Structure 1
Amino acid sequence: MFDTKAVPNMNAMNPFTEECTLRTNPVQAFPQELFFLLRTTQLLRGLTAGMAVEWSIVDNWCPLAKQVLLQG
């Protein structure tokens, strides 16, 4: 849910399929602090899919996340 990278043969993140993760395991509660992060990720996923660009938000944010975790 928090990455933009396409996974071959994986339809679980497509909200229009029966195998969608959110259909089979619905979210009961979602922290408000993560809402805009999820929304931004979904917008980037749509842009990368529409432009046929292979780009992973996780790969790009990983060094920053590690840095923040080590400081904390």
Structure 2
Amino acid sequence: MAVSQSCTISIERIATMRDQYDAQLWTQNHTETSAGIDRLIARIMQAFRVLHCINWSAPWSDDSRCGA
């Protein structure tokens, strides 16, 4: 009985330590992660803008706004 109780305690301790470690990593890298996600979303939106411009632009038009 004592062995299973000590195993349970050590597993709970490991889980708590892991949670604390993950929380510390998130706190330290949150700004960088958020900035990276923002850059990714901005690039995706720019790609959609260019595709929209290409799709709706007239090939005979002199207006070359696509990709600007």
Same fold by TM-score, threshold 0.5 exceeded?
Answer: no
RCO higher in structure (CA 8 A, sep ≥6): 1
Q: TM-score, normalised by structure 2?
A: 0.31
Q: TM-score, normalised by structure 1?
A: 0.29
- When you count helix as a share of all residues, which structure comes out higher? 2
Q: Highest Rg: 1 or 2?
A: 2
